[in-house]
Structure 1
Amino acid sequence: MNYLMVLLIIILDQLSKYIVQSIFSVNKSMPIIENIFHLTYVRNVGAAFGILQNQKMFFVIITLVVISGIILFTRTQTNIHKLVVYSLSLIVGGAIGNLIDRIRFGYVVDFFDFRIWPVFNIADISIVVGAILLSYYLIIIDRVRN
Protein backbone atom coordinates (compact mmCIF):
# COMPACT_ATOMS: atom_id res chain seq x y z
CA MET A 1 0.00 0.00 0.00
CA ASN A 2 1.30 3.44 -0.85
CA TYR A 3 0.11 5.35 2.22
CA LEU A 4 1.45 8.67 0.92
CA MET A 5 -0.75 8.30 -2.17
CA VAL A 6 -3.74 7.38 0.02
CA LEU A 7 -3.16 10.44 2.22
CA LEU A 8 -2.75 12.76 -0.78
CA ILE A 9 -6.05 11.57 -2.28
CA ILE A 10 -7.86 12.05 1.03
CA ILE A 11 -6.45 15.57 1.43
CA LEU A 12 -7.29 16.63 -2.15
CA ASP A 13 -10.76 15.11 -1.88
CA GLN A 14 -11.63 16.66 1.47
CA LEU A 15 -10.11 20.05 0.57
CA SER A 16 -12.06 20.22 -2.70
CA LYS A 17 -15.29 19.28 -0.89
CA TYR A 18 -14.63 21.89 1.80
CA ILE A 19 -14.13 24.58 -0.86
CA VAL A 20 -17.32 23.57 -2.71
CA GLN A 21 -19.35 23.59 0.52
CA SER A 22 -17.89 26.99 1.45
CA ILE A 23 -18.72 28.61 -1.89
CA PHE A 24 -21.96 26.91 -2.99
CA SER A 25 -25.32 26.26 -1.44
CA VAL A 26 -26.87 22.84 -2.06
CA ASN A 27 -27.84 22.28 -5.72
CA LYS A 28 -26.16 25.56 -6.73
CA SER A 29 -24.42 25.22 -10.08
CA MET A 30 -21.77 27.27 -11.86
CA PRO A 31 -21.08 26.61 -15.53
CA ILE A 32 -17.42 26.22 -16.46
CA ILE A 33 -18.29 25.27 -20.04
CA GLU A 34 -21.97 26.06 -20.54
CA ASN A 35 -24.15 22.91 -20.86
CA ILE A 36 -21.05 20.67 -20.89
CA PHE A 37 -19.20 20.99 -17.58
CA HIS A 38 -20.50 22.65 -14.43
CA LEU A 39 -19.56 22.69 -10.78
CA THR A 40 -22.74 21.67 -8.96
CA TYR A 41 -22.91 21.01 -5.22
CA VAL A 42 -25.08 17.98 -4.53
CA ARG A 43 -25.49 15.76 -1.49
CA ASN A 44 -25.47 12.10 -2.46
CA VAL A 45 -27.16 9.88 0.13
CA GLY A 46 -26.84 6.80 -2.08
CA ALA A 47 -24.29 5.17 -4.34
CA ALA A 48 -23.49 5.65 -8.02
CA PHE A 49 -26.49 6.55 -10.17
CA GLY A 50 -28.55 7.18 -7.02
CA ILE A 51 -28.97 3.54 -6.05
CA LEU A 52 -29.41 2.42 -2.42
CA GLN A 53 -30.57 5.79 -1.15
CA ASN A 54 -30.27 6.46 2.60
CA GLN A 55 -28.29 3.30 3.38
CA LYS A 56 -25.55 5.08 5.39
CA MET A 57 -24.73 2.20 7.75
CA PHE A 58 -24.60 -0.28 4.89
CA PHE A 59 -22.08 1.89 3.03
CA VAL A 60 -20.00 2.54 6.15
CA ILE A 61 -19.79 -1.17 6.99
CA ILE A 62 -19.07 -2.30 3.41
CA THR A 63 -16.43 0.41 2.99
CA LEU A 64 -14.69 -0.55 6.24
CA VAL A 65 -14.71 -4.23 5.24
CA VAL A 66 -13.29 -3.47 1.78
CA ILE A 67 -10.58 -1.13 3.13
CA SER A 68 -9.62 -3.66 5.81
CA GLY A 69 -9.48 -6.45 3.24
CA ILE A 70 -7.25 -4.45 0.91
CA ILE A 71 -4.89 -3.44 3.72
CA LEU A 72 -4.73 -7.03 5.00
CA PHE A 73 -4.05 -8.29 1.47
CA THR A 74 -1.23 -5.81 0.85
CA ARG A 75 0.37 -6.56 4.23
CA THR A 76 0.34 -10.32 3.75
CA GLN A 77 1.67 -10.37 0.19
CA THR A 78 5.41 -10.06 -0.37
CA ASN A 79 5.73 -9.47 -4.10
CA ILE A 80 2.90 -7.25 -5.30
CA HIS A 81 3.22 -5.66 -8.73
CA LYS A 82 3.58 -1.86 -8.52
CA LEU A 83 0.48 -1.32 -10.63
CA VAL A 84 -1.58 -3.34 -8.15
CA VAL A 85 -0.16 -1.32 -5.25
CA TYR A 86 -1.03 1.96 -6.99
CA SER A 87 -4.49 0.81 -8.04
CA LEU A 88 -5.36 -0.42 -4.54
CA SER A 89 -3.98 2.80 -3.03
CA LEU A 90 -6.24 4.83 -5.32
CA ILE A 91 -9.24 2.72 -4.35
CA VAL A 92 -8.51 2.96 -0.61
CA GLY A 93 -7.85 6.73 -0.76
CA GLY A 94 -11.12 7.33 -2.59
CA ALA A 95 -13.06 5.00 -0.34
CA ILE A 96 -11.77 6.77 2.77
CA GLY A 97 -12.57 10.18 1.27
CA ASN A 98 -16.20 9.23 0.73
CA LEU A 99 -16.35 7.36 4.05
CA ILE A 100 -15.35 10.53 5.89
CA ASP A 101 -18.30 12.34 4.29
CA ARG A 102 -20.76 9.58 5.13
CA ILE A 103 -19.67 9.52 8.77
CA ARG A 104 -19.49 13.33 9.17
CA PHE A 105 -22.55 14.37 7.18
CA GLY A 106 -24.58 11.28 6.34
CA TYR A 107 -24.05 11.95 2.62
CA VAL A 108 -21.22 12.34 0.11
CA VAL A 109 -20.40 15.76 -1.32
CA ASP A 110 -20.31 15.64 -5.14
CA PHE A 111 -19.61 18.54 -7.50
CA PHE A 112 -18.12 17.60 -10.92
CA ASP A 113 -21.11 17.81 -13.25
CA PHE A 114 -20.77 16.85 -16.92
CA ARG A 115 -24.55 17.02 -17.43
CA ILE A 116 -24.69 13.60 -19.15
CA TRP A 117 -23.40 11.68 -16.13
CA PRO A 118 -24.20 11.70 -12.41
CA VAL A 119 -22.32 14.33 -10.40
CA PHE A 120 -19.11 13.00 -8.80
CA ASN A 121 -16.00 14.01 -6.82
CA ILE A 122 -12.24 13.39 -6.54
CA ALA A 123 -12.75 10.28 -4.37
CA ASP A 124 -15.00 8.80 -7.06
CA ILE A 125 -12.38 9.52 -9.75
CA SER A 126 -9.74 7.85 -7.61
CA ILE A 127 -11.85 4.73 -7.09
CA VAL A 128 -12.71 4.43 -10.79
CA VAL A 129 -9.14 4.99 -11.98
CA GLY A 130 -7.91 2.47 -9.40
CA ALA A 131 -10.47 -0.09 -10.55
CA ILE A 132 -9.53 0.44 -14.21
CA LEU A 133 -5.81 0.03 -13.45
CA LEU A 134 -6.48 -3.09 -11.39
CA SER A 135 -8.65 -4.51 -14.19
CA TYR A 136 -5.92 -3.76 -16.72
CA TYR A 137 -3.40 -5.58 -14.55
CA LEU A 138 -5.64 -8.61 -14.05
CA ILE A 139 -6.77 -8.87 -17.68
CA ILE A 140 -3.57 -7.94 -19.53
CA ILE A 141 -0.42 -7.95 -17.41
CA ASP A 142 -1.12 -10.89 -15.11
CA ARG A 143 -2.23 -13.01 -18.04
CA VAL A 144 1.03 -12.29 -19.88
CA ARG A 145 3.13 -13.00 -16.77
CA ASN A 146 1.51 -16.40 -16.23
Structure 2
Amino acid sequence: MLRIGLLLALAVLAVDQATKWYMLFVLDLPRVGHIPLVALGPFGFDLTMVWNRGVTFGLLAGEGPWSQTLLALLALGIAGFLLRWMARAENRLTALALGAVVGGAVGNVIDRFRFGGVADFFDAHAWGWHWYVFNPADAAIVLGVMALIGDALIRPSPAVKGSVP
Protein backbone atom coordinates (compact mmCIF):
# COMPACT_ATOMS: atom_id res chain seq x y z
CA MET A 1 0.00 0.00 0.00
CA LEU A 2 2.90 2.34 0.70
CA ARG A 3 4.01 2.26 -2.93
CA ILE A 4 0.54 3.22 -4.21
CA GLY A 5 0.26 6.09 -1.74
CA LEU A 6 3.75 7.37 -2.51
CA LEU A 7 3.12 7.27 -6.26
CA LEU A 8 0.00 9.40 -5.84
CA ALA A 9 1.85 11.75 -3.47
CA LEU A 10 4.57 12.25 -6.11
CA ALA A 11 1.98 12.79 -8.86
CA VAL A 12 0.11 15.38 -6.75
CA LEU A 13 3.38 17.11 -5.94
CA ALA A 14 4.43 17.20 -9.62
CA VAL A 15 1.07 18.56 -10.82
CA ASP A 16 0.99 21.11 -8.01
CA GLN A 17 4.49 22.44 -8.64
CA ALA A 18 4.09 22.45 -12.44
CA THR A 19 0.81 24.36 -12.15
CA LYS A 20 2.30 26.87 -9.73
CA TRP A 21 5.30 27.39 -12.02
CA TYR A 22 2.96 28.06 -14.95
CA MET A 23 0.77 30.48 -13.00
CA LEU A 24 3.69 32.37 -11.46
CA PHE A 25 6.23 32.47 -14.26
CA VAL A 26 4.41 31.89 -17.57
CA LEU A 27 1.07 33.65 -16.96
CA ASP A 28 2.81 36.04 -14.53
CA LEU A 29 -0.29 35.98 -12.35
CA PRO A 30 1.35 37.94 -9.49
CA ARG A 31 1.64 40.92 -11.87
CA VAL A 32 -1.63 40.35 -13.76
CA GLY A 33 -3.62 39.66 -10.58
CA HIS A 34 -6.86 38.32 -12.06
CA ILE A 35 -7.89 36.45 -15.23
CA PRO A 36 -11.61 35.68 -15.76
CA LEU A 37 -12.00 32.20 -17.25
CA VAL A 38 -15.51 30.76 -17.18
CA ALA A 39 -18.89 32.28 -16.48
CA LEU A 40 -21.97 30.05 -16.70
CA GLY A 41 -24.94 31.99 -15.39
CA PRO A 42 -24.29 32.72 -11.71
CA PHE A 43 -21.29 30.34 -11.62
CA GLY A 44 -17.74 31.36 -12.41
CA PHE A 45 -14.17 30.13 -12.29
CA ASP A 46 -11.28 32.57 -12.49
CA LEU A 47 -7.57 32.80 -11.83
CA THR A 48 -6.89 35.22 -8.97
CA MET A 49 -3.47 35.55 -7.34
CA VAL A 50 -3.44 35.28 -3.55
CA TRP A 51 -0.47 34.64 -1.28
CA ASN A 52 -1.61 32.62 1.73
CA ARG A 53 0.78 33.26 4.59
CA GLY A 54 -1.29 31.24 7.08
CA VAL A 55 -3.03 27.89 7.02
CA THR A 56 -6.54 27.14 5.73
CA PHE A 57 -8.50 30.35 5.03
CA GLY A 58 -5.42 32.37 6.06
CA LEU A 59 -5.66 31.41 9.74
CA LEU A 60 -2.48 31.82 11.80
CA ALA A 61 -1.03 34.14 9.17
CA GLY A 62 2.23 35.75 10.10
CA GLU A 63 4.47 37.93 8.01
CA GLY A 64 7.83 36.98 9.50
CA PRO A 65 10.11 34.21 8.25
CA TRP A 66 9.83 32.43 11.60
CA SER A 67 6.08 31.98 11.27
CA GLN A 68 6.47 30.53 7.76
CA THR A 69 9.24 28.21 8.92
CA LEU A 70 7.16 27.07 11.89
CA LEU A 71 4.11 26.36 9.70
CA ALA A 72 6.29 24.51 7.17
CA LEU A 73 7.90 22.37 9.88
CA LEU A 74 4.50 21.61 11.38
CA ALA A 75 3.23 20.50 7.95
CA LEU A 76 6.32 18.31 7.45
CA GLY A 77 5.76 16.71 10.86
CA ILE A 78 2.15 15.95 9.97
CA ALA A 79 3.28 14.55 6.59
CA GLY A 80 5.71 12.26 8.44
CA PHE A 81 2.90 11.00 10.67
CA LEU A 82 0.71 10.40 7.58
CA LEU A 83 3.54 8.51 5.84
CA ARG A 84 3.77 6.19 8.82
CA TRP A 85 0.00 5.69 8.68
CA MET A 86 0.25 5.09 4.91
CA ALA A 87 2.83 2.33 5.47
CA ARG A 88 0.26 0.57 7.68
CA ALA A 89 -2.81 1.31 5.54
CA GLU A 90 -5.31 -1.53 5.44
CA ASN A 91 -6.73 -0.77 2.01
CA ARG A 92 -6.01 1.00 -1.26
CA LEU A 93 -8.43 3.87 -0.62
CA THR A 94 -6.71 4.80 2.64
CA ALA A 95 -3.27 4.67 1.00
CA LEU A 96 -4.42 6.83 -1.91
CA ALA A 97 -6.18 9.33 0.35
CA LEU A 98 -3.09 9.66 2.53
CA GLY A 99 -0.93 10.01 -0.59
CA ALA A 100 -3.11 12.90 -1.79
CA VAL A 101 -2.82 14.66 1.57
CA VAL A 102 0.95 14.11 1.82
CA GLY A 103 1.59 15.25 -1.76
CA GLY A 104 -0.48 18.38 -1.22
CA ALA A 105 1.13 19.16 2.13
CA VAL A 106 4.64 18.84 0.71
CA GLY A 107 3.69 21.02 -2.27
CA ASN A 108 2.56 23.80 0.04
CA VAL A 109 5.64 23.38 2.25
CA ILE A 110 7.84 23.94 -0.82
CA ASP A 111 5.97 27.22 -1.45
CA ARG A 112 6.50 28.36 2.13
CA PHE A 113 10.25 27.81 1.89
CA ARG A 114 10.56 29.28 -1.64
CA PHE A 115 8.19 32.23 -1.43
CA GLY A 116 7.35 32.80 2.24
CA GLY A 117 3.73 31.81 1.60
CA VAL A 118 1.56 29.49 -0.45
CA ALA A 119 0.60 30.49 -4.01
CA ASP A 120 -3.18 30.18 -4.44
CA PHE A 121 -4.96 31.06 -7.69
CA PHE A 122 -8.09 28.99 -8.45
CA ASP A 123 -11.16 31.11 -7.64
CA ALA A 124 -14.58 29.42 -7.84
CA HIS A 125 -17.65 31.58 -7.23
CA ALA A 126 -21.43 31.63 -7.51
CA TRP A 127 -24.08 34.34 -6.94
CA GLY A 128 -21.38 36.79 -5.89
CA TRP A 129 -20.03 34.45 -3.21
CA HIS A 130 -16.40 33.33 -3.59
CA TRP A 131 -15.02 30.13 -2.14
CA TYR A 132 -11.52 30.51 -0.80
CA VAL A 133 -8.84 30.79 -3.48
CA PHE A 134 -6.95 27.50 -3.68
CA ASN A 135 -4.31 25.54 -5.59
CA PRO A 136 -3.92 21.89 -6.70
CA ALA A 137 -2.25 20.95 -3.39
CA ASP A 138 -5.23 22.30 -1.44
CA ALA A 139 -7.65 20.39 -3.67
CA ALA A 140 -5.71 17.15 -3.15
CA ILE A 141 -5.68 17.66 0.63
CA VAL A 142 -9.44 18.29 0.76
CA LEU A 143 -10.23 15.31 -1.48
CA GLY A 144 -7.88 13.07 0.51
CA VAL A 145 -9.47 14.05 3.83
CA MET A 146 -12.95 13.55 2.36
CA ALA A 147 -11.93 10.05 1.20
CA LEU A 148 -10.56 9.21 4.66
CA ILE A 149 -13.75 10.38 6.35
CA GLY A 150 -15.92 8.54 3.82
CA ASP A 151 -13.91 5.36 4.27
CA ALA A 152 -14.18 5.60 8.05
CA LEU A 153 -17.94 6.14 7.91
CA ILE A 154 -18.81 3.58 5.24
CA ARG A 155 -16.39 0.70 5.72
CA PRO A 156 -17.79 -1.76 8.25
CA SER A 157 -15.71 -2.42 11.33
CA PRO A 158 -14.30 -5.95 11.79
CA ALA A 159 -16.82 -6.63 14.58
CA VAL A 160 -19.73 -5.73 12.28
CA LYS A 161 -18.55 -7.91 9.36
CA GLY A 162 -19.13 -11.18 11.18
CA SER A 163 -22.38 -10.23 12.89
CA VAL A 164 -25.75 -11.58 11.78
CA PRO A 165 -28.64 -9.10 11.30
5 Å-filtered alignment, 1:1-146, equals 1=2, 2-22=5-25, 23-26=27-30, 28-34=33-39, 36-54=44-62, 55-75=67-87, 77=88, 80-115=90-125, 116-143=130-157, 146=160
Superposed CA RMSD = 1.8
CA distance in 2, matches of 1:69, 1:144: 24
Q: Which moved more, 1:114-123 or 1:35-44?
A: 35-44
CA distance in 1, matches of 2:69, 2:6: 26
- Between Structure 1 and Structure 2, whose CA radius of gyration is higher? 2
CA distance in 1, matches of 2:46, 2:117: 20
How far the C-alpha of 1:72 sits from its partner, in A, is 1.8
Task: Report % sequence identity.
Answer: 32
Q: What SS does the corresponding residue of 1:109 show, helix, strand or coil?
A: strand
Q: TM-score, normalised by structure 1?
A: 0.90
Q: 1:145 to 1:130 in 2, by over 3 A?
A: farther
CA distance in 1, matches of 2:158, 2:132: 36
- Structure 1 stretches of at least 4 aligned residues deviating more than 6 Å after TM superposition: none
In structure 2, the gaps of 5 or more residues are 161-165
Q: TM-score, normalised by structure 2?
A: 0.80
